[in-house]
Amino acid sequence: MAERNLLGYGGRPPDPRWPDGARVAVQFVLNVEEGGERSILNGDAQSEDYLHEMPGRPARMGERDLSVEGLFEYGSRAGVWRILELFRARDLPLTAFAVGRALELTPEIGRALSAAGHEIAGHGYRWIDYRTVPEDEERR
C-alpha cells in the first residue's frame, strides 16, 4: 500500500507571517486552457469528455463536439479579456495557470498577461492523461 500522511501538522499548523501583519493571503488564479483539451483538431481520437461544464456528457468519437469547443472558446474569446480588464481596473495581480498548447494557439493572451505584469505558471502542455505517456515523449 502506498504511504499517505493523513495527520498533516498534527494540530500544530505553521504560523505564517504575512506582510503588514495581514491575517489572510488571497491568490487569484486564472486557468488558460483553451485549445489544450482533447479534440479531433489536436489529433485526438475523441472530443473532451471530462473537463467541461456538462457532467456526464460522453465523448464524441472521431468527430468534433462543437458545444464543448464553444465552452472552452468562451475563455479565450471573451472571458480572459473581461477578467484582465477587471484586474487592471483594480490594480490587482493574478497568476495564470497556462496550458502550453493554449498559449501556442493564442499567443496574444500570453503577451497580454505578460504586459500586465501577471505571473504565468506552467500548467502542462495539454489536457491529456499523462500516466501512460512515455518519459521521452513527455520531455519533448
Instruction: State pTM to two decimals.
Output: 0.80
38 within a domain of the structure (yes/no): yes
Cα(107)–Cα(115) distance, rounded to whole angstroms?
12
C-alpha R_g of the chain: 19
Can you give the CATH number for the domain in which 73 is found? Answer: 3.20.20.370
Cα(84)–Cα(30) distance, rounded to whole angstroms?
10
When divided into structural domains, the chain yields a total of: 1
User: Residue type at 71?
Assistant: L
Order of strands across the sheet with 29-32? 29-32, 95-98, 119-122
28 within a domain of the structure (yes/no): yes
Q: Which residues pair with 98 in a beta bridge?
A: 32, 122
52 within a domain of the structure (yes/no): yes
131 within a domain of the structure (yes/no): yes
5 within a domain of the structure (yes/no): no
122 within a domain of the structure (yes/no): yes
7 within a domain of the structure (yes/no): no
Q: Which residues pair with 72 in a beta bridge?
A: none
Q: Which residues pair with 61 in a beta bridge?
A: 46
Each residue's pLDDT tens digit, 43-84: 888 888 877 777 888 888 999 988 888 888 999 999 999 999
Q: Domain range holding 101?
A: 24-139
Each residue's pLDDT tens digit, 5-56: 999 999 999 988 999 999 999 999 999 999 888 899 888 888 888 777 778 8
